[in-house]
Chains A and B, each alone.
Chain A
Amino acid sequence: MKLELRGITKRFGALVANDHIDLVVEPGEIHALLGENGAGKSTLMNVLYGFYDPDDGEILVDDRPVEFAGPGDAMAAGIGMVHQHFMLVPVFTVAENVVLGYEPVKGGGMIDLAAARRRVKEISDRFGFDVDPDAMVEDLPVGAQQRVEIIKALSRDAKVLILDEPTAVLTPQETDELIAIMRQLKAAGTSIVFITHKLREVRAVADRITVIRRGKVVGSARPDSAETELASLMVGRSVSLGVDRAPAQAGEVALQVRNLSVLDDAGVRQVDDVSFDVARGEIVAVAGVQGNGQTELTEVILGLQQPVAGSVVLDGTELVGRTVKQVLDAGVGFVPEDRTEDGVVADFSVAENLILDLYDRAPFARGISLDPRKVQENAERRTVEFDVRTPSVDAHAGTLSGGNQQKVVLAREMSRPLRLFIASQPTRGLDVGSIEFVHQRIVQERDTGTPVIIVSTELDEVLALADRIVVMYRGRIVGIVPGGTDRDVLGLMMAGVPQAEAVQQAATHHTVLGEADIEASEEESK
């Protein structure tokens, strides 16, 4: 099936999310839609999927114009979509999820689960998905859940499959499996629209690449274009993808975490006997798939949660048992994982957010009286220093883009002398330009001698920043490896494979992305 978008325009008030976008997806091709967060990729796909009415332009399927009033029409026309956030019912089985909304019925209005199971089995076998139709979705790993979504789309005879940021939640090995699936689907004649902002993956699988910037198509590229070329097309200026950083000048050990264990409310062990050190002037990255205890680890250090065992000693001071306030006062800067939930108060002005954990100390407070002038001055200075793009320091933080909100959090946390800096997912959801800036600031902080902990689920980020890498899996430390460790080894360790075994396995089997790394480093050395 050939899919064509002609002159699609979608406005939200003054914002033009899509500006006359043309896109042709040929039968059996993998077409990558590359763009930064907020470039308009998702809007375009939501138009295509019938969620939004375009203000202008038309959609053609096999050269015939079509109109979609809703996702139902889009599905009927052979378009399937796998959302970044899966639309699955966790307590349903795979078969039940796949037929949800299109249940085959037997006599008497009963759902024909046998037919549903057969359908799942058939598709699963055809593409070698290895999915048990009777498994409960909540028990499946994320990669398998994604395959359920793909089966769901295929079971409705999708000829064009839209994958919205499909690799965001996957380990490198899972990504590899996904890439294999995409190639199989392509071979079977299914077209795939692959939405992403990850250059490496695009180069690995795409037949054609369309780059979108600020709602406009800014060009198309061939998959063998260089990464920097794609990046500058995507961002609109030349960017340096790596972080310039000198090797760490690690000093004496500043933070000692010993035998730390944390239970959640249900009594499940989220952090299990974790021990590691961080030295002055060193960045230690905690790598792992989301939900393997990293969040709890940082929250315990900050004092938001209490551990059941273990100690956290910073410069000779025990932090366990202290309140958040005391930990912050001890010189810990903390950038939370979820900035909208824990980092900023959306209703507060930028100026107020910049003193959220400094409001009751000099120079902002005298007794219990706030000094609005000092608050204002501080805000003017920090917004310039951290390049926060805001109409004014009185604007509500909620009106800022994610990148600028993150800069507000960083500016606040780095605006006092630190003995330890912790940042969780410091660049999640940021555009390339902001990522560059944030990474530079973190390295700068390290270079002043501050011990730094970065928690990231992004291997790219871990590899870009870390001097040492702590890999966590199910609350335990799988291993502590030096920065720059092979991506495939890290990926296997993130899946719980012990270090020695991971090194062995990785040596015999390279993932697509791991190979790209090696190629890149070989190119560099030439």
Chain B
Amino acid sequence: MNRKLIIRILGAILCIEAAAMIPSLVISFIHRDGDTAALALSLAACAFLGCPMLCFVKTDKNVHLRLKEGFIITALGWILLSLFGALPFLFSGVLPRFEDAFFEAVSGFTTTGASVVTEFEGFPRGVMFWRASTHWVGGMGVLVLTLALLPKLTGRSAHLVKAESPGPSLSKLVPKTGATAKILYTIYFALTLAEFVTLMLLGLNPYDAAIHAMATAGTGGFSNYGASVAAFSSVPVEMAVAFFMFLFGINFALYYRFFIGEHFKAFFKDEEFRWYLAIAVSAILAVSLINLSFYQGDFWTSLRYSVFTICSTMSTTGFVVLDYSVWPAASLMIVVLIMFVGSCAGSTAGGIKVIRINMIAKLSRRNIRATGQPKKMEVIRIDGKAVEEGILSQVAQFALMYVALWLLGAFIMSFDGRYDLLTHLTASLTCISNVGPGLGAVGPAYNFAGYGILAKVTGAFLMLFGRLELLPMFILFTRSAWHKY
């Protein structure tokens, strides 16, 4: 194993984390909520550990990163990122227990948005800003950011992006991985800025607008208000946030194609986007019709809540405008199913991903047809192109492992003993899909603060498994990962 290279890249991650803390530190200076020291200390910890790792460890230029190492760096990098990301919460005293701070940081970086914070009044604003920044850094991926900034750090960098980017196969925009990473971050930044400006125009103050823009961009869902987006009680703000949540669930490659001259054709030509749109629209319509009687026949109110909730759940953001756990069971079932699906590959969202659901649907159809005509050769196509059989079987296995891990997570959480089965099942699901709110005691009106340490640690790891799409995390638990060769 190429330890020096691993150490250098982990060092780069810490340096980037230190840089990401700078805006929060500046904000804490401006607002003087007494969290400046905590942020400065955390920043120093990242920088003092990260810089020597990056600058003083010499790596041989001819040694290439191996596939296994790419996965290990990704998994270790994310754990390291979360451990150091927890420091501001710990040092400032808002979350004095380590498991709480770690849970909050993991939830931030994996863009889950499940929180253990109960008291929003008097929460220091610098740390609050850091909480939202973690969404932004984690959304597009910290290794992608590393490669955008330091493309020469390692050869064969495709292994890193592959391990971190969501989706069954990596789609590059331009030949060079480093340049691809730069383009992705440019689009990401531009979209975030667009939302920031939109929210400002709708009357939010710059601080609230920045926090909600970052939380939407990463499809995270941390708000600086206990009531989440409902705190603004403004329909235009809700609709703007819902629209941007939907946008951040789209594959970023499509934006690139949009900008290089394909315009809206880029979106509608893409099969995954068409499925994404179709699922979102039908779920919204179904939920608003089911809820019609619940809202005494007021279709527009029903539609408004349905649009926000479905966009929020499908993009795995987890902002809320109402406690929807009181909705009819059929609507809740739709919300839970949407949690599994998630958004598009190559976006900042979690879940199984629409493209995989699409492939699984086609695979099932083929299997059903094959029972009648076993000799018939049938190729599965996406966007008119044949999909490799190897990828199909990987996708099917991914879905199986996803469900198995979800149930295993719920099983471990159920030992907590405090809550009912619905809570455990949805808590596990909301963690692995990086959504945020579940149902029951972790429903939209509550959060994970009531859980014990076992459930919190389980939840944190489920989030990491979900964000990194299982395999990089699983590989850490294999013996061969730690072999010297």
A binds B: no
Q: Which residues on A are within 8 Å of B, measured CB to CB?
A: none
Residues of B within 8 A of A (CB): none
